[in-house]
A and B are shown apart, each in its own frame.
Chain A
Amino acid sequence: MKYWKILPRAHVVFILLPVYWLVNMSFKSNQEILSTLSLWPQNFTLANYATILTDPSWYSGYINSLIYVLLNTVISLSVALPAAYAFSRYRFLGDKHLFFWLLSNRMAPPAVFALPFFQLYSSIGLFDTHLAVALAHTLFNVPLAVWILEGFMSSVPKEIDETARIDGYSFPRFFVRIFAPMIASGIGVTAFFCFMFSWVELLLARTLTSVDAKPIAAIMTRTVSASGLDWGVLAAAGTLTIIPGMLVIYFVRNHIARGFAMGRV
């Protein structure tokens, strides 16, 4: 069965190769990149990173992205938690249809919403704000959050709710002190996926912003069409965007398998 093991190893090499090339390039000057093709920097330089970290038009992009991603995660979790609880514990008029309608929004092509969102958010004066992007991303993140949380909540026995009520807990207190800790890993998984899908998205984030809330993704793609393209800086910018992702993966590495086991990405 040895050849079964070769495939994961080969795939990991395949994954790392282009990333290595990007990182490699980020430590070279633009001149070196354009003149020679070397497997490691001949003249190692941190100048590209310095440019990004000192130039507000660059680093503001990261800050903007992080702001709306965090905002989105908070909003998505806050509205999804009570809704998931309702789906998990109660029957009410239209519950099944509502659930399916929510899921169908995950299947909406963002391209379809690009123009309407542009018009909608402009009309309420939220164009070029972090809130706009955060809200726009809830289109697919909230259904996902409800779906994942409902799954975790359903595995908590309803007897616990009843016991808490008999013991005199008010609903908010019960939710925060008893229920939430029991679904802590579910909340973690949900936060992870909200972060992931909001952080990686470009189309809506770029459509809804122009200057103040411009995400790093938009700044990088703008750079592509500008003349006098600096590949070194672009590579450094790209490398920096990989870091938050790597950190998040590192922290949840033991829960990744469990999160996917929910089968509810």
Chain B
Amino acid sequence: MSLRKRDYPKAWLLVLPVVLIVAFNAVIPLMTVVNYSVQDTFGNNQFFWVGLEWFEEVLHSERFGNALGRQLLFTGLVLAIEIPLGLMIALGLPKSGWRASAYMMLLALPLLIPWNVVGTIWQIFGRIDIGLAGAAINAVGIDYNYTQNAFDAWITVIAMDVWHWTSLVALLCYSGLKSVPEVYYQAAAIDGASRWAIFRFVQLPRLRQVLIIAFLLRFMDSFMIYTEPFVITGGGPGNATTFLSIDLVKLALGQFDLGHAAAMSLIYFLIVLLVCWLFYTIMSVGDSRPEPRQ
């Protein structure tokens, strides 16, 4: 496989459609947001410059702080559960055969359900009047009601996310495991390695790349979560499950508090970009090891 790329300035023509479409969808709206974030209005469509006031207001706002706090807690919990769980599931999956195919299909199922339906499924499942889980939990004597109790709401939302996205981690790890050449297992057997040693020295190093991608994707998507918790709890009870996106949409589309929402949007986007950039850098401290001929 030759690695030379030709110098070809006209290649821009091939890239142009993509640039135009993404610029239209990304640059223009962002410019709008930046615009709103540094201006204020008296309400009659007249705007005046206020500099960084909105940003200061957001950063000092208790509401933003709370939403950010909830979001970080949610993302942290979800990552802590889904990554190890997905990995462990992948370790138990068969390497080939019809069983492997069947597992692929079943695991992929939650990933292809529209997010609002995911929300609806869990909204129903957790209700104490019509939901299997809700009723069953109360039937064994535990008091559970996600519409009234903040803790129960959190449990429900987290269970929903684990249900929804663990498959992604599992499938990514599974594909990573498949890339381990059989020779390594054979050599480890001859070297007398224990199951744990095989995991630590043969499998885990190969999973590094994949785990980083899984971590990155789950961080991003859980940090931006909107639909599912909105459908289940609407952000409640009270504010208990109002994460960043839900709060932002309330401000922007609900209250039309444009300046505040715009500043919050930019801070939000920046946080995500920063964390992603950090991980991208770690990821590209990559490994180029020779691969066996398969």
Residues of A at under 8 Å CB distance from B? 1, 4-8, 11-12, 14-19, 21-22, 25, 33-34, 37, 65, 75, 78-80, 82-83, 85-87, 89-93, 95, 98, 102, 104-120, 135-136, 138-139, 142-143, 146, 155, 157-159, 196, 199-203, 207, 216-217, 220-221, 224, 231, 234-235, 238, 241-242, 244-246, 248-250, 253-254, 256-258, 260-261, 263-265
Residues of A within 8 A of B174 (CB): 257, 260
Least CB distance, A176 to chain B, in whole angstroms: 15
Q: Are A200 and B112 in contact (CB under 8 A)?
A: yes
Nearest A residue to B139, CB-CB: A37
Q: Are A115 and B103 in contact (CB under 8 A)?
A: no
Given known contacts A86-B15, A201-B115, A256 and B132 CB-to-CB distance under 8 angstroms: no
CA distance A254 to B109 in the complex (A): 14
Q: Are A18 and B273 in contact (CB under 8 A)?
A: no
Does B188 belong to the interface (CB within 8 Å)?
Answer: no
CA distance A150 to B178 in the complex (A): 22
CA distance A184 to B173 in the complex (A): 24
CA distance A87 to B16 in the complex (A): 12
8 A–B contacts from the bound complex (CB under 8 Å):
A21-B131, A21-B132, A114-B253, A118-B253, A158-B4, A200-B115, A263-B172, A264-B213
Which of these, A83, A196, A253, A258, contacts B15 with CB under 8 Å? A83
Least CB distance, A236 to chain B, in whole angstroms: 11
Q: Are A111 and B224 in contact (CB under 8 A)?
A: yes
Residues of B at under 8 Å CB distance from A? 1-2, 4-9, 11-12, 14-15, 17-19, 21-22, 24-26, 28-30, 32-33, 85, 88-89, 91-93, 100-101, 103-117, 120-125, 129-133, 135, 163, 166-168, 170-172, 174-176, 178-179, 195, 209-210, 213, 217, 220, 223-224, 226-227, 231, 244-246, 248-249, 252-253, 258, 261, 265-266, 268-269, 272-273, 276
Which of these, B18, B22, B226, contacts A203 with CB under 8 Å? B226
Q: Are B32 and A79 in contact (CB under 8 A)?
A: no
Interface of B is mostly: helix
Given known contacts A115-B252, A257-B175, A200 and B114 CB-to-CB distance under 8 angstroms: yes
CA distance A124 to B82 in the complex (A): 42
CA distance A18 to B118 in the complex (A): 9
Residues of A within 8 A of B5 (CB): 89-91
A-B pairs with lowest CB-CB distance, top 5:
A245-B112, A116-B29, A111-B245, A261-B175, A4-B92
Residues of B within 8 A of A159 (CB): 2
Residues of B within 8 A of A257 (CB): 100, 104, 171, 174-175, 178
Which of these, B12, B88, B91, B104, contacts A253 with CB under 8 Å? B104
Q: Are B124 and A196 in contact (CB under 8 A)?
A: no
Least CB distance, A7 to chain B, in whole angstroms: 5
Least CB distance, A209 to chain B, in whole angstroms: 14
Q: Are A157 and B1 in contact (CB under 8 A)?
A: yes
Given known contacts A21-B132, A37-B135, A157-B2, A109 and B268 CB-to-CB distance under 8 angstroms: yes
Q: Are A234 and B253 in contact (CB under 8 A)?
A: no
Which of these, A75, A91, A246, contacts B112 with CB under 8 Å? A246
